[in-house]
Structure 1
Amino acid sequence: MKKEKKHAIRSIFYLILGCCLSSALLAEDTIVKPRQKPASSATVSTGNDTTVKTGPDTVTIKADRVEGIYEQEMEAIGNATLCHAGMTLTADRMKYFPQSKDAEVTGNLHLDRKKDFIEGDYLKLNLDTQVGFLTEPRYTMKEGDGRGTGERLFFEGKNQYRLKKGEYTTCPVDDEDWYIRASDLKIDSEKEVGVARNVSVVFKGVPILYTPWLDFSYTGQRKSGFLAPVVGHTKRSGADLAIPYYINIAPNMDATIAPRVMSERGFMLSNEARYIGHGVHGRVQADVLPDDFDTHKTRYGISFQHGQYLGHGWRGQLDYNRVSDDRFLRDLSNNLSQTSRTNLLQQAGLFYHGDLGLDGTVSFSAIAQRFQTLQDPFLPQNSNLLIISPYKRLPQLTMNAIKRNVAGMDFGLNATWTNFAHSSADRTEGRRLTLYPTVSVPFRNSYGFITPKFGLHYTQYALSDNVGTVGSNTDRVVPIVSLDSGVIFDRNVSIGGNNYIQTLEPRAFYVYAPFKDQSFLPNFDSAESDFSFAQMLTENRFSGHDRINDANQITLALTSRLLEPSTGIERLRAAVGQQFRFIDRRVILDSSQVTSRRADFIAALAGRITREISTDVNIQLDQQSLRTEKIRAGISYQPELGKVINLGYRYTRDVQERLDIPDNQLNTAIKQVDTSIQWPFFSNWHTVARVNYSLRDDRLLAGLAGFEYISCCYKFRVVVQKLTTATSRSTTAVFVQLELNGLMNIGSNPLRVLEQSIPGYASIY
């Protein structure tokens, strides 16, 4: 009896202890673990700010109240939050099914992911497969400022979703100046691209463009696909439409194929390929017009540039340019730098640069070079305005070596060997060897320098007999002596409350070269350099090697600069210079050159007068007659980005006035004004304009006028440009462009034209 009582008491004790432990465990935590299964299904109710975790991939749910049936269903009510794999989902109410990992969410829904933010009305999503749908979606990209809405959004895997009747824009909320509307819009957040079908581009509420398919990168990353159409109009080609297709071949290689239709010319195919790699880079541009409506001929243009580093200081380079006819660039290009080209380079070269001991360098080059010369098609064949083609160099070998600090002396050697050829039968051809060794003894210290230098210029020719009296072999030796010296003084000054360092730099440069009769020598590549500060401080006023000037002269120059002490930036430079010749010049190339010992006086002022105003002025005066020979003057006012006014004047006195050349000779006088502006005139509106006018000819050489509207999410530009492309012809081009930020540019791009025409022009973003 006693044993039975003991067993009963023991059983009651263990029962009470078990109940207490169970109650303690339930009270300690409300975390439900999958392997701790109760004997039967149960409903769990929790209070505020309760967390529920379930499954091997943690899903955390917080809400004011969480209810559910273990491993079957959980419902979060009030300020519900679900976190899973870097995704945060908030709503008024949500259900989660642990076995299938499905979630149903309603009411004030916000989905925050790594690359986007999505809102909507009702969401059904599988957390494992990331497949589901969302009604009344509103999405925002975290990269690229893209956003939009749709009728329904379908999740199609990780970082993939599709919108039905979707819209996309980069404009701010409540300011939708433009958007694209598509029946189907797929967003790939991993690749950061969008693909739209049945697309309308809506601008200011008006559909302006339709395309059945649009492929774009909303972060500006490179990708293959069609680019926006390029639409324009020129006087020479008529209405112009191009539809470029961009091919992202590799991270270091791409191409653009652009079919182009011109109402006055026909169909042209433009192709461009670019590549860059370790020690290599290049670009190929090819344009083909199979049947020009005007000329009824096939016309083409090709440009190929390639550069390659070969190692150990060696590199190779190829630059080949060719067009089918003289008018190709004038008729089919809107670029001033293209339409004004007269000699197209065709060159292949091999180059080397390396050290020559501790204090020396040596360089070598071997090139084969020729040009395609484009003539003005409206000039008669016997006109003196026809351009003479440069000589071909087939090939040219050049070596330059400098060895410094050899017993206090610097040694140099310039050597070239060139085989000159020409397509005209009446031009002298031949081979030329030049050797120019020099030795100088530089003396330098902190405040000045003096450098005596001696050189011997040797030239040998082996000529053809195309021109009667020219000998087949001849040579020339000219010794050249120079002495260059200068002193630098400086002081601290304060101007307008700003501190500067002002320098005073007198310089004297003497050069002597005896006269050698060179009238019997051919001229392959020499021309007289313009008289300037740089030219006054050189030994030879001729470029090339066919003419070496006779000189006995000294140049005196004085320069003063204002430098910022903290940065060393030059704020202003003023200089004057005068060359004193002790003999009259006898070596000339043509009758228009000045031979008198009376040299001109030069003055220059360049730099920033203030932080907003900069200037560059050069004046050349004839000291004998006290007349102005040349003026190059320009002043620019630029208070901030997007605001600039430029004024320029160019004047060169006619050679006829200086040398009494007969009136039937070429008139070389230049009188031109050049003014340009970019300036805001009302709210977001900017005006752009440029006028380059010849006062002598009373003719517009280049003109441009237009406006820009700069908004937060788009830019609209209209520009009209007129260019003189030949002696009696001009062309007019119209550029109209709508730039939708982050999506595309519609129309013809005038930015390159504006940057070339308006110094200081800046595109406002």
Structure 2
Amino acid sequence: MYKSSAFLVALLPAAAAAQDPLDFCAVQPISFDSDQLTKNGEVIVRSVNAVVAENQSAMFDGDVDITTERAVISAAKARIENNGRTVYAEGDVTFQNPEIKVNSESVDLDSTTQKLNLVDTQYQLTGFVGHGAADNISVDAQSGVVLQDVSFTTCPLGDEDWQIRASEISIEKGSNRGEARNTRFYLGEVPVFYLPYFAFPVSNQRQTGLLFPNITSSSATGVDIEQPFYWNIAPNYDLTLSPRLMTERGIQLKSEFRYLQKTGYGSVNVEYLPSDDDLASDDDDRYFYRVFHQGQLSQNWQLNIDFNGLSDDNYIVDLGSDFYNRADTHLYRTLGVSYYTPSLDFTAQLRDFEIIGDHPDTYRALPETKLEYRADLTQYLNLRVNSELAYFDNTSETAPTALRWHVAPTLALPYQRQWGELLAEASILNTYYQQDNVENTSLSEEVNRTLGQLRLYGNVVFEREQQWAGQRSTLTFEPQFQYLYTSFEQQTDIGMYDTTLLLNDVDGLFRGQEFTGLDRISDNNQITLGVTSRLLDASNREQFVFSVGQIFYLSDNKVIAAAKDRDSSAVAAELDWRISDHWIAHTDVQVTTESDRVERSSVALEYRHDEDSLVQLSHRFVRNLSGEQIDQIGLSASWPIAENWHWVGRYYRDLNLSRSIESYFGLQYESCCWAVRVVAQRHLSNRFDRSGSQRIDEFDSGVSLQFIFKGIGGQKSSRSMLEDGMFGYRQPYVLN
């Protein structure tokens, strides 16, 4: 055994982030166990034959293995000279370190000059499926790494669907970037692209440079090409500039500045189209901006900013957005601070909106502060105080404005056990209004409203062991009861600033509130009854859940906005059923007892084979939503159709108007090293006319084609296509 000191520099840094190999890949990433390397500069040599001249040289022959602190070398023959400082090996040489494995004809290492040279090589990156060949690889501790006549691909050996070839690739010492010269990109054996020079990252650190372009087409934009440029300004700052060419609209510039600090993070987005070439657009200069920040001011204080704006109502419809969709009617503009302790929560914010389209002007809360205090007075008696101070303003000069101050102390007696829960609450709800600009209205300049509220709630859980489908299971029966009383006070002299009527489901029946906001608090004298039944398997997994409930009014409602003119509410019911390991059903419905008419319902039936394989049929019905009836049916599907093929689709149809609302079809081929995706879609454009009304008869359609070459910026992509194609998809159940 020959021991001496030697120096071996790392051959290549990681060229790409590690990725999980696909099951159908013929090439599997190699691994390397760093524990086999020596320590303290030792060199260990094993061979069949050895001839050693002390302090001069050593010759090794037959299954030679050389282990150092940096790498492991295997060869047919090896010669070590200069007291271990020079190593030369030849004949089926294998060189491996934590970054790379190289097979070559010979390797020449000089630790004095810190140079390494490998001839006629085949290399594979450790932990990654990338591999290639090079006529010569030289490593110099001073200058770096040079590969001559080199190739690279992530495809299986002998089945190179794509490949990069270059006359030279060099990586300077200490640099995070490599340089390639005379680079050709091949599909099969056909050269399709040439670059005389380009630079590329050789580590997982962020690097300045071009990102992959995004190419799509639609009837709204024409051919749409976006080319992002990433600028790594500092370790905690970066900027992405994305020129976007649209053949139907012109050239748009998109930008995103991001920052990360010890106390928070945020981003600034600006998009600008100086001149829209589309004749349907009345706006020449079009823009969108967003400022977002979330951070800590101190241990208990937080700062939140979300400020958005755009040039016109049709900006998102025509040009799209990464933050909003064409169905949104408001853009947020909020600035707030928050304070949190175990017993006290406080928030203060300025809440404004950018309104899209012809929608009623929304009141701005400038400012709005909320405080909640919690305390345990005794073991069974709790105190909770909710308070709020807000000033509501409106852009309309004729609209009333108001200062609102609300305080609601609550005493509660909670009692919780495994078998159920009992709760008694008593609250005083005091709200003060100072209203201005009310001369031509029925509102009062000053209102002080004080209400009392009493709530009694209880539920019990009964369980019974039984057999279900031949398996041991548990059936539960969980009745719920609530009595709610709220005193009455006339409220017609109070404006509606942040209040609207809520829709109820089974859980909403026990909410005790008819409205969002505080401008209307309904008088109540009612009993709510409900029951839930669950079927649990031996692993406590829910197989079946059914809930039903209804409110019974003991006296007539006097607050007009609540509109409770019946003896009882609609019956609300929900059903979730795991029919089998693959079939799941969900339905919820609300039926009025007087007319036995369905007011709202939704139904979903889903077959799910695995994470990426599912088919869902759904139907949604609302008898009256803002004066319109909703009656829609939808089909969503995602399914692998062959070993390398996957498709995703969705289709929604309006049964009232007998027309499609949206259709999407995506088809993708994916192998180990590349993928191609084609997507076709058609949907309502939802453009606004000059009066601000939304058109309901115009459609936008488009087709996009995308190539992904893994190892040079791409990654497994079927999941992202599934998420795009299943936009709006929700699992149809709440089973645990």
In which range does the TM-score fall when normalised by the shorter chain? 0.7 to 0.9
Give the Cα separation in 1 of the matches to 2:165 and 2:666. Answer: 30
Change (3 A) 1:267 1:622: same
Match of 1:642 among 590, 612, 617: 612
- Deviations, residues 574-609 of structure 1 (Å, cap 9, x unaligned): 11112212234342449xx56323421111012533
> For the structure 1 residues 81 and 452, does the alpha-carbon distance in structure 2 shift closer, same or farther, using more than 3 Å as the test?
closer
Percent sequence identity is 26
Question: What is the one-letter code of the residue matched to 1:366?
Answer: A
- Match of residue 713 from structure 2: 744
Alignment partners' CA distance in 2, 1:427 and 1:604? 42
Residue 237 of structure 1 and its aligned partner are, at CA, apart by 1.6
CA contact (8 A) 2:444 2:494 kept: no
Counterpart among 98, 115, 118 of residue 134 in structure 1: 118
Distance in 2 (CA, whole Å) between partners of 1:599 and 1:608 is: 29
1:433 aligns with 2:415: no
CA distance in 1, matches of 2:424, 2:160: 72
CA contact under 8 A between 1:426 and 1:467: conserved in structure 2? no
Output the CA distance in 2 between the equivalents of 1:325 and 1:134. Answer: 62
Matches within 5 A, 1:94-243: 94-98=78-82, 101-157=85-141, 160-186=144-170, 195-216=179-200, 222-243=206-227
Offset of residue 349 of structure 1: 0.6
Question: How far did residue 373 of structure 1 move?
Answer: 0.7
Within 5 Å, which residues of 2 pair with 1:34-433?
Answer: 58-66=42-50, 74-98=58-82, 101-157=85-141, 160-186=144-170, 195-216=179-200, 222-294=206-278, 297-333=284-320, 337-355=324-342, 361-375=343-357, 386-406=358-378, 408-433=380-405
2:588 counterpart of 1:618 = yes
2:520 corresponds to 1:520:
no
1:548 is aligned to 2:535: no
Structure 1 residues 155 and 285: alpha-carbon distance in aligned structure 2, compared to 1, 3 A threshold: same
Q: Identify the range of structure 1 (138-147 vs 68-77) with the bigger mean alpha-carbon deviation.
A: 68-77
- 1:713-728 map, 5 Å: 713-726=673-686, 727-728=695-696
Structure 2 counterpart SS, 1:151: strand
TM-superposed CA distance for 1:30, in Å, is 9.4
Q: Structure 1 448/80 Cα, relative in aligned 2: closer, same or farther at 3 Å? A: closer
What CA deviation, in whole Å up to 9, does each residue of 1:494-516 have, x standing for no partner?
32344433321101111122333
8 Å CA contact retained: 1:527, 1:589: no
* Counterpart Cα distance in 2 of 1:110 and 1:546: 79
> Shift of the alpha carbon at 1:394?
0.8
Q: How does 1:425-464 map to 2 (within 5 A)?
A: 425-464=397-436
Cα shift at 1:264: 2.0
Contact 2:3-2:45 at 8 Å conserved across structures: no
Asked if the contact 2:115–2:140 (Cα under 8 Å) also holds between the matched residues in 1, the reply is: yes
Q: Is the CA contact 1:144–1:218 (under 8 Å) kept in the aligned structure 2?
A: no
Single out whichever of 147-156 and 616-625 deviates more from structure 2.
147-156
Deviation of residue 671 (structure 1)? 0.3
Amino acid at match of 2:351: Q
TM-fit CA distance, 1:526: 0.7
How many residue pairs match? The answer is: 683
Larger displacement relative to structure 2 (488-497 or 71-80): 71-80
Deviation, structure 1 residue 166? 1.5
Q: For residues 486 and 330 of structure 1, do their structure 2 counterparts lie closer, same or farther at Cα, with a shift above 3 Å needed?
A: same
Q: Which residue matches 2:26?
A: none
Secondary structure of 1:536's counterpart equals helix
Residue in structure 2 matched with residue 482 of structure 1 by the alignment: 455
Partner amino acid for 2:356? L
SS at match of 1:329: helix
Contact 1:93 1:105 survives alignment (8 Å)? yes
Tell me if the contact between 2:505 and 2:573 (Cα under 8 Å) persists in the aligned partners: no
Q: 1:129 to 1:255 in 2, by over 3 A?
A: farther
Moved more, 581-590 or 183-192: 183-192
* Distance in structure 2 (CA, Å) of the matches to 1:314 and 1:175: 58
* Contact in 2 for aligned 1:115/1:189 (Cα 8 Å): no
Equivalent residue letter for 1:715: A
Classify 1:337/1:477 alpha carbon distance in 2 versus 1 (closer, same or farther; 3 Å).
same
- Deviation, 1:309, is 1.7
Deviation at 1:274, TM superposition (A): 3.0
For 2:704, the equivalent position in structure 1 comes to 735
Amino acid at match of 1:450: L
Q: Is the 8 A contact 1:345 1:370 kept in 2?
A: yes
Q: Which has the higher contact order (CA 8 A, sep 6+)?
A: 2
Q: Is the CA contact 2:2–2:45 (under 8 Å) kept in the aligned structure 1?
A: no
Question: Alpha-carbon deviation of 1:755?
Answer: 4.8
Instruction: Indicate if the aligned counterparts of 2:213 and 2:226 stay in contact, CA closer than 8 A.
Output: yes
Q: Which of the numbers 509, 518, 533 marks the counterpart of 1:536?
A: 509
In structure 2, relative to structure 1, the CA distance for the partners of 1:475 and 1:117 (3 Å cut) is same
Q: Distance in 2 between matches of 1:30 and 1:692?
A: 75
Aligned-partner Cα distance in 1 for 2:637–2:574: 24
Secondary structure, counterpart of 1:527 in structure 2: coil
- Please give the per-residue CA displacement for 1:545-568, whole angstroms capped at 9, x wherever unaligned: 0011122211110001234565x5
- Secondary structure at 2:317 match in 1: helix
Distance in structure 2 (CA, Å) of the matches to 1:571 and 1:580? 31
CA deviations 1:123-151 (Å, max 9, x no partner) are 33324444243332111111322211123
2:325 match: secondary structure: helix
Q: Secondary structure at the match of 1:408?
A: coil
Q: CA deviation at 1:238?
A: 1.6
Structure 1 runs not aligned, ≥5 long: 1-28, 34-55, 356-360, 376-385, 656-665
Which of 490, 493, 496 in structure 1 is aligned with 2:469? 496
Q: 1:199 to 1:446 in 2, by over 3 A?
A: same
Give secondary structure in 2 for the equivalent of 1:330. helix
Amino acid at match of 1:577: G
- SS of residue matched to 1:331: helix
Q: 1:485 to 1:468 in 2, by over 3 A?
A: same
CA drift at 1:705? 0.4
Amino acid paired to 2:316: L
Matched-pair contact (CA < 8 Å) for 2:4–2:41: no
Q: Which amino acid aligns with 1:753?
A: D
- Cα distance 1:680–1:750, how it changes in 2: closer, same or farther (>3 A)? closer
| 8 Å CA contact retained: 1:442, 1:451 | yes
Which is worse superposed, 314-323 or 692-701?
A: 692-701
Give, as a single letter, the amino acid of the residue that structure 2 aligns with 1:371: F
User: Which residue is 2:725 aligned to?
Assistant: 754
Name the CA shift for 1:168/1:471 in 2 (closer, same or farther; >3 Å). Answer: same
Query: In the alignment, what sits opposite 2:16?
Result: none
* 1:453 Cα offset (Å): 2.0
* 1:599 maps onto 2:564 in alignment: no
Q: What's the offset of the Cα at 1:205?
A: 4.2
- The answer on whether the counterparts of 1:394 and 1:418 sit within 8 Å (CA) in structure 2 is yes
Where do 1:15-26 residues align within 5 Å? Answer: none
Do 1:449 and 1:487's aligned partners in 2 also have CA atoms closer than 8 Å? yes
Corresponding residue SS for 1:406? coil
Change (3 A) 1:638 1:158: farther
Which among 448, 457, 472 is matched to residue 445 of structure 2? 472
Which has the larger displacement, 409-418 or 709-718?
709-718
By how many angstroms is 1:172 displaced? 2.6
Residue 213 of structure 1 deviates from its aligned partner by 4.6
Residues 677 and 262 of structure 1: CA distance in aligned 2, closer, same or farther (over 3 Å): same
Distance verdict in 2 for CA 1:362–1:233, change over 3 Å:
same
Structure 2 regions of 5+ residues with no counterpart?
6-39, 687-694
